[in-house]
Amino acid sequence: MLIVDDDVDTVEMLCVALEQCGAIVASATTSRTALGILNSWVPDVIVSDFMLPDDGIHLAARAKELEIPAIAITGQARPEDQQRIIAFGFDICVTKPFDPMDLCRIIATRLKAPGPAE
């Protein structure tokens, strides 16, 4: 899992919470750094702040190219804002503030592989 947010405290909190859920986590505080990570490692999911100062939209586009689910975390709670975020290429939009354990559940549900009977 790749966590991207320009707020170091948010990155640290998400890394700890997601590691407690069993995730292998890499992190970045800029989309440029995150794009560099994606050149050498393909995570199962990307969780990124939508309003990165150096353009998180390119990160969503790269996630689509690599077929990686991308979750935007944002303070923009209006339905039209969330629709715009999805239109930019994110698969899911989670509004701040949120409980990190809820994010773990969202990710687990999103990544659930179908079993033999499904």
Question: How much is the pLDDT for 57?
Answer: 82
Domain ranges in the chain are: 2-108
H or E stretch covering 80: helix 79-87
pLDDT-derived band at 116 (thresholds 50, 70, 90) equals: very low
Percent of the chain with pLDDT over 70: 93
Question: How much is the pLDDT for 32?
Answer: 92
* Residue 36 near residue 61 (C-beta atoms within 8 A): no
Pairing of strands 46-49, 26-28: unpaired
SS3 98: coil
| pLDDT score of 118 more than 60 | no
The Cα diameter of the chain in Å comes to 45
Q: How do residues 54-98 score in pLDDT, each as one tens digit?
A: 777 888 999 999 999 999 998 887 889 889 999 989 999 999 888
49 beta partners: 73
The CATH code of domain 2-108 reads: 3.40.50.2300
